[in-house]
Structure 1
Amino acid sequence: RDEEAELGRTRQPYALVVGGGQGGIALGARLKRLGVPALIVDKHDRPGDQWRSRYKSLHLHDPVWYDHLPYLPFPDHWPVFAAKDKVGDWLEMYTKVMELNYWSRTEVHSARYDESAAEWVVELTRDGERLTLRPKQLVLATGMSGVPNLPHYPGMERFAGESHHSSRHPGGEAYRGKRAVVIGSNNSAHDICADFYENGADVTMVQRSSTHIVKSDTLMELALGGLYSEEALAKGITTDKADMLFASVPYRIMHEFHVPVYEQAKVRDADFYARLEKAGFRLDFGDDGSGLFMKYLRRGSGYYIDVGASDLIADGKIKLAHGKVQEIAEDAVVLDDGTRLPADVIVYATGYGSMNGWAAKLISQEVADRVGKCWGLGSDTTKDPGPWEGELRNMWKPTRQDALWFHGGNLHQSRHYSLYLALQLKARMEGLDTPVYALAETHHAA
């Protein structure tokens, strides 16, 4: 084990996985079991810090049966919705028990593909030491979300209070008695608004467009419970079986399965939705009424799984404002209708860019453009749909850059699709014939 832990120093990894969150760790476990020499690198101090560093109120919004890692499920006494530090500690323990090659405190500076050697040249720093690695395969496991989207509103530089993107929100404890404005109305915005309120801040949510809301218990019972629940386990539907059943429905027709679920949700939670709309909240159920999961697949945002913040909005405890931000004043957010929202702290819950933004930062804009957008349903090319039409763009499969792969998603996707990505990497290592992209056309990211 000591010899293996020197992978990256005494010998080169076959696969370098950039990003040591749940995606990178799940893939690392798969590759380990398949005998593929793989190294995971991450900038945080410890595995699991990706979760520990987030705001204190963060919990999983998906049930525990949906969120296991490969080979080693959560203990059966765990809460249905685990707290973020609990998840972080589990990830750290998992890397040790599964004996993964994991370099923490490691930052990747650049990567380029050496065509003549058919390998990557990756420059990185580990604990202050500059190193060069030459893996045959490079996996960006930086999460389904790319680089944080920090908007550029006129006047941002003159704001006298604190401001930050939701990815850097430390928690509401320091803001008791302060005026907080959260720009955005999706999952993170709701969590952060509830966090501010529970810590005694005066908080306003700025809703710029409509949002899909589904209650957590409704989602469990109507959408997930048949596959991921104690009842499903009692019927012999293990997590592995549930994953295969879930994946057996093509994305092209999946919305047809979800529309009836959300029609039921509208009836079941009619009073809940009526209270939200009376408070002025703008609701939607997706373009075709197919709800949360299709929104997640199509755009990765636009929804909130309610675990309490919606009641705070309906009761007026979280204030609500609508419109586009016109400018940031020294002590307020000013909307396009002239509404002035006094603020001591502003949180930009404005989402993330495509994962190929990481390719642009670490490799080049040319490679990012050649690969095209990551995530979202459709084709990886505008001209010839090829074999991947209707799947998630560029995820877990060959891209138009040799030996470059993308891996991410929620815990369920990190667990399930890590298997197929690992099998492709194993096949490449063994010299087996596997699908490759042979398309010359580029598809520029939107």
Structure 2
Amino acid sequence: LAARLKRAGVPTIVVERNERAGDSWRKRYKSLHLHDPVWYDHMPYLPFPDDWPVFPSKDKVGDWLEHYADIMELNYWSGTECVGAEFDEAAGTWKVRVNRRGEDVELRPTQLVFALGVSGYPNTPSFPGADSFAGQQCHSSEFTGEEDYEGTRAVVIGSNNSAHDICATLWQKGADVTMVQRSSTHISRSESLMDLGLGPLYSEEALANGVTTEKADMLFASWPYALLPDAQKPVYDAMAERDAEFYQQLRDVGFDLDFGEDGSGLFVKYLRRGSGYYIDVGASQLLIDGEVALASGQVERIESDAVVLDDGTRLPADLIVYATGYGSMNQWLTDIISPEVADRVGKVWGFGSDTKRDPGPWEGELRNMWKPTNVEQLWIHGGNLHQSRHYSKYLTLQLKARMEGISTPVYGLQEVHHTE
């Protein structure tokens, strides 16, 4: 977004709490790689080299982001934490308070954009007895995978992308690993997803056929979200048929599978929830082979040396990793601005209507993403790398228009006149 704004001549400052651009990637668990193929994840104006791995490592992506900020000459303030913001009605600007490496600074932007990914704070559930646990426990966002886990009894609570990756890392390190699945999960095998789901638009073959990244983005975005589930169902029907044996093996070990609430698969589930899926790059086979144990149910309590499920199953543990996802981005608005502003904006992400706005024209869109919110001069940008690349175009156009004083009315319910 900052790169596009710079190209459009819109003065922009990026405020980043980490010391270096890309640290949000570098600080994650060691085995983390992109689960989407590289053709799906290019940056605007500066695509990844054509000899890059299909699934680059977290450090490779982090370094690329750091170099990107330098090459694109972005006004990028790292080591800077936003500690609060409020709108100055008299001046028509925001007052944004930041701490830049120990120095308090007040910024006065006209437009304020929250560009914080897809999620809010790490969601660490509070289970009875957690304080009594004698071993190590952490959220997946804190897990690095760099310790010696040989012989460790590890329980990973969760069954989505991070849970699978972390289970595989712990198994490789010699731990005795159990995954706790609390709700159903959609799994797409990486090879099938690339072939059936992304291949026609984002692949070497597509590029060879003249489908550039920009063209692919436009083709994909041409499907209104309200119609997308029906368009996606045939893809996942074909995947279910192609990988029938794989899915049956998972069911045989007790894994609770789904293909989304209506069979529309991974991407629509991501749009609706931002979670609930795993792109299989190998960890599913560990479950099938029994190398990683699987337990199903809700956590009832934690004891000093075990996790106890609601059916009485007791899982001995020296390490507990909460791969339990993240809260809503709305929480950032609550803490940085105010609960009142967060309430006015309403829910962020997921299909549906924005609160306090007539629901009709907004149904079938992502809530509050890349478009005017119920709070003037406040915007939310995010999504995966593909969405951030594509929809940053439209957010940039809106911000540029406002800077130039061009009228950009927000559409609402219109009276419809029918004629015979």
Q: Identify the match of residue 153 of structure 1 among 118, 127, 135.
A: 127
Q: Identify the match of residue 295 of structure 1 among 269, 276, 284.
A: 269
Distance 1:366 1:423 in 2: 28
Q: Are 2:89 and 1:98 aligned?
A: no
- In the TM superposition, residue 173 of structure 1 has moved relative to its aligned partner by 3.4
Q: Identify the match of residue 414 of structure 1 among 388, 391, 394.
A: 388
Distance 2:256 2:310 in 1: 18
Q: Are 2:262 and 1:262 aligned?
A: no
Q: Which amino acid letter does the alignment assign opposite residue 151 of structure 2? A: G
Q: Identify the match of residue 227 of structure 1 among 201, 212, 224.
A: 201
Q: Which residue in the other structure is 1:51 paired with? A: 25
Q: Which amino acid letter does the alignment assign opposite residue 362 of structure 1? A: I
Distance 1:170 1:404 in 2: 34
Whether the aligned pair in 1 keeps the contact of 2:349 and 2:367 (CA below 8 Å) is yes
Q: Are 2:177 and 1:200 aligned?
A: no
Q: Which residue in the other structure is 2:329 paired with? A: 355
Mapping of 1:40-439 within 5 angstroms?
Answer: 40-171=14-145, 173-381=147-355, 384-385=358-359, 387-436=361-410
Distance 1:82 1:134 in 2: 38
Q: 1:264 to 1:138 in 2, by over 3 A?
A: same
Distance 1:293 1:51 in 2: 22
- In the TM superposition, residue 435 of structure 1 has moved relative to its aligned partner by 3.2
Over residues 99-132 of structure 1, what are the superposed CA-to-partner deviations in whole Å (9 max), with x where a residue is unaligned? 0000111111111111121111111100111111
Whether the aligned pair in 2 keeps the contact of 1:400 and 1:438 (CA below 8 Å) is no
Whether the aligned pair in 2 keeps the contact of 1:400 and 1:437 (CA below 8 Å) is no
- In the TM superposition, residue 381 of structure 1 has moved relative to its aligned partner by 2.9
Q: 1:133 to 1:438 in 2, by over 3 A?
A: farther
Distance 1:406 1:438 in 2: 19
Distance 1:340 1:172 in 2: 27
Q: Which amino acid letter does the alignment assign opposite residue 375 of structure 1? A: W
Structure 1: state its 5+ residue gaps: 1-26, 440-446
Over residues 250-286 of structure 1, what are the superposed CA-to-partner deviations in whole Å (9 max), with x where a residue is unaligned? 1111111111111111111111111111111111111
- In the TM superposition, residue 317 of structure 1 has moved relative to its aligned partner by 0.6
Distance 2:29 2:49 in 1: 25
Q: Which amino acid letter does the alignment assign opposite residue 371 of structure 2? A: K
Distance 1:160 1:284 in 2: 35
Distance 2:344 2:75 in 1: 31
**Displacement over 4 Å in runs of 4+:** 436-439
- In the TM superposition, residue 387 of structure 1 has moved relative to its aligned partner by 3.6
Distance 2:159 2:324 in 1: 9
Whether the aligned pair in 1 keeps the contact of 2:344 and 2:356 (CA below 8 Å) is no
- In the TM superposition, residue 176 of structure 1 has moved relative to its aligned partner by 2.1
- In the TM superposition, residue 326 of structure 1 has moved relative to its aligned partner by 0.6
Distance 2:94 2:121 in 1: 22
- In the TM superposition, residue 382 of structure 1 has moved relative to its aligned partner by 6.5
Q: Which amino acid letter does the alignment assign opposite residue 71 of structure 2? A: V
Distance 2:50 2:327 in 1: 36
TM-score normalised by structure 2 residue count = 0.96
Give the 3-state SS of the residue equivalent to 1:338 in structure 2: coil
Q: Which amino acid letter does the alignment assign opposite residue 331 of structure 1? A: D
Give the 3-state SS of the residue equivalent to 1:139 in structure 2: strand
Distance 1:415 1:84 in 2: 18
- In the TM superposition, residue 150 of structure 1 has moved relative to its aligned partner by 1.2
- In the TM superposition, residue 386 of structure 1 has moved relative to its aligned partner by 5.0
